[in-house]
């Protein structure tokens, strides 16, 4: 998700270049670096151990997705992280709901593995 590539993908998305979205579905998407910085700032309100875990996870996700050029993936990635940021800012992160099986079934195997590792790390922090 190089900044130039992702911004061109975002502009393509905003300008109607991607046809599977209706006009009402187009979110205001924050630029990747700005979004990442806002997420790290939002983590400052968390307890130390949660802040570290959240910031490291966000950093690794943004690094893993930096070379994505598919506009759909860029938009989906940034949209989900914006939802996460909105939840963090509004303190809804405390009322997180468990993923249902249909959501897990749609994830690629490597993401399921990452999710499992995250779950284990979160349990270690709580000990």
Same domain, residue pair 112 and 77: no
| Length of the chain measured in residues | 127
Residue 7 has pLDDT above 90, yes or no: no
Question: What's the number of domains the chain is made of?
Answer: 2
**Domain ranges, residue 112:** 99-127
Nearest C-alpha neighbor of 27 from the set 80, 65, 89: 80
123 three-state secondary structure: helix
Same domain, residue pair 81 and 123: no
pLDDT on residue 104: 83
Same domain, residue pair 21 and 45: yes
Q: What is the pLDDT of residues 11-27, one digit of tens each?
A: 544 444 444 444 455 55
Given a contact cutoff of 8 angstroms between Cβ atoms, the answer to whether 88 and 43 are in contact is yes
Given a contact cutoff of 8 angstroms between Cβ atoms, the answer to whether 42 and 88 are in contact is yes
Same domain, residue pair 51 and 76: yes
Distance CA 25, CA 18 (A): 12
Using the Cα atoms of residue 81, residue 84, residue 86 and residue 89 in order, give the sign of their dihedral: negative
Q: What is the pLDDT of residues 63-111, one digit of tens each?
A: 999 898 899 999 999 999 999 999 888 876 666 677 788 888 888 888 8
Same domain, residue pair 81 and 115: no
85 three-state secondary structure: helix
């Amino acid at each position: 998700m190089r900044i130039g590539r992702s911004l061109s993908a975002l502009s393509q998305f905003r300008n109607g270049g991607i046809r599977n979205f209706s006009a009402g579905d187009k979110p205001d998407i924050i630029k990747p670096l700005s979004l990442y910085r806002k997420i790290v700032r939002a983590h400052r309100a968390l307890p130390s151990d949660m802040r570290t875990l959240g910031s490291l996870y966000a950093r690794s996700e943004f690094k893993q997705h930096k070379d994505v050029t598919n506009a759909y993936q860029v938009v989906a990635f940034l949209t989900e992280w914006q939802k996460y940021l909105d939840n963090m800012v509004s303190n809804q992160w405390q009322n997180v709901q468990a993923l249902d099986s249909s959501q897990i079934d749609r994830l690629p195997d490597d993401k399921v593995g990452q999710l499992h590792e995250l779950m284990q790390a979160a349990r270690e922090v709580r000990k």
